[in-house]
A and B are shown apart, each in its own frame.
Chain A
Amino acid sequence: MKLTLNVWRQKNGGAPGAFKTYEAPHVSPDMSFLEMLDVVNEDLILRGEDPIAFDHDCREGICGMCSLMINGAAHGPVRGVTACQLHMRSFSDGDTITIEPWRAAPFPIIKDLATDRSAFDRIIQSGGFISASTGSAPDANAVQVPKNFADLAMDAAACIGCGACVAACPNASAMLFAGAKIAHLGFLPQGQAERSQRAINMVSQMDAEGFGSCTNIGECSAVCPKEISLDVIARMNRDLIGASLKGVEPTGVVAVPAK
């Protein structure tokens, strides 16, 4: 396949960026999207040019590092798939493909297509965990979890924290991510003790990071590689309303570094 790429290049967060056009003449339909970029980069290095910076790690859809806006869609045209698992056969010979970084003010650009998503880490840090004493290993099934709750918790836990939901959202809201994390722990017995505090803390951190506010549009769920449902947002809302009215105050909001 022969493709033309329209790639966002930006030296660093402070420098102005622009689209640059590259030819990719020898693309196999069996390559993944990231392999295609690797080939383009090797060519750039041979020519002594700066390779295109993009985030990646596992390349099997589980780490959440890859983060490409492909033709205006987060993770590209195929539903339920990360950019690393997207294959070039999803495109046609002769296509022009526009590749951009995630777009949201709380995700500043580091370089080219790589953005700083530590805002998500701080949201987790503010409450996305369970404080449990770590004694000797408990017996299996000592804590009973009903099957349907286990399934729902697992569905929510599938979130890999990639940030596609923010990138796709017209409000650049992080509610699908935060909702998934809150629902994941909130469905499990081990998560009950801190459930109210968790909702208050994570939502406060999300607001402090400057993410936008959800208007229930649903673009997030439509691009989410793990197809997290909008249900988790309704559940987060319910947890937050309950926790606030119980008088729970935010604690442990993590300082947001100046951008």
Chain B
Amino acid sequence: MTGVLTLYRSSIGKKVIMAVTGVVLVGFLIVHMYGNTKMFYGPQVFNDYAAGLRDLGHPIFGHEHLLWVMRVLLLASVVGHIWSATVLTMQSQKSAYARGVTKVKRYEKKQRRTGYAAYTMRFGGVVIFLFIIFHLLNFTFGVAGYSAGEYIGEQGGVYNAYNNVVRGFSHPLVSGFYILAMLALGLHLFHGVWSAFQTLGLNNEKYTGTWRAVAMLVTAIIILPNIFFPIAVMSGIVHL
């Protein structure tokens, strides 16, 4: 136990938290993406899926019990991830803060020799965070992104998720933001998944190509379908 605390106190330990929570979130995103594909089978299947989530693990787990376990796990992961990212970002900015005594910026622009994705992790992370909040307000609570009367909540154990997704994505602004956020998430994942292998000490020159390919594949599996859902609604492939 003290070992975990020693690890946590070091900067590398906080990176390990980011990597582990990141991998949990990636797992969630893959399952979530798969769940979304049920919209192509029509309202019945999609709404049953929404209801089924509440009875996950039935009959071992009671109504919504396992769902809550997962929600708590996800929330803890998001909090742990953002917390570590914030602490480490502050540490890094302090170290990189090189200004003259006059408070003028001391330096000319630095040259950049490596890829783009790694540089967008923090900004991309903020975009993803804002997206998560909007996403919950929108599809989960129905308080943002709808015209009056469009969103239909639970009616005696029946869920209208299909109606809500189709109505929601019929708003071009909602769909547009959704697609932009997915592009940001894609960049984040492309660097992040590879980075997690490096952080956990599982990378070296022999495997780095493989991990880059895995990162690319994971990103494509999550992002391409997710971008297709709003497009499918707007082009009428998925309709009420």
Contact = CB atoms under 8 A, between A and B. Distances in A.
Interface of A: 6, 8, 10, 14-18, 69, 71-73, 98, 100, 103-106, 168-173, 200, 203-204, 206-207, 210-219, 222-223, 229-231, 233-241, 244-250
Contacts of B97: 105
Interface in B129-161: none
Interface of B: 2-4, 6-7, 10-16, 88, 91-98, 100-102, 104, 106-115, 118-119, 121, 191, 194-195, 197-205, 208
Nearest to A71: B111
A244 B204 CA distance: 21
A105 B95 CA distance: 5
A214 B98 contact: no
Nearest to A76: B111
B94 A234 contact: no
Contacts of A69: 107, 110
Nearest to B122: A215
A210 B96 CA distance: 10
A213 B15 contact: yes
29 contacts: A8-B106, A16-B102, A17-B102, A18-B104, A72-B108, A100-B106, A100-B107, A103-B110, A104-B95, A105-B98, A169-B96, A203-B10, A212-B92, A213-B14, A213-B15, A213-B88, A214-B11, A215-B118, A217-B119, A218-B114, A218-B118, A230-B203, A230-B208, A234-B203, A235-B204, A244-B3, A244-B7, A245-B3, A247-B2
Contacts of B111: 71-73
B107 A104 contact: no
Contacts of B2: 247, 249
Contacts of B199: 216, 237
A16 B101 contact: yes
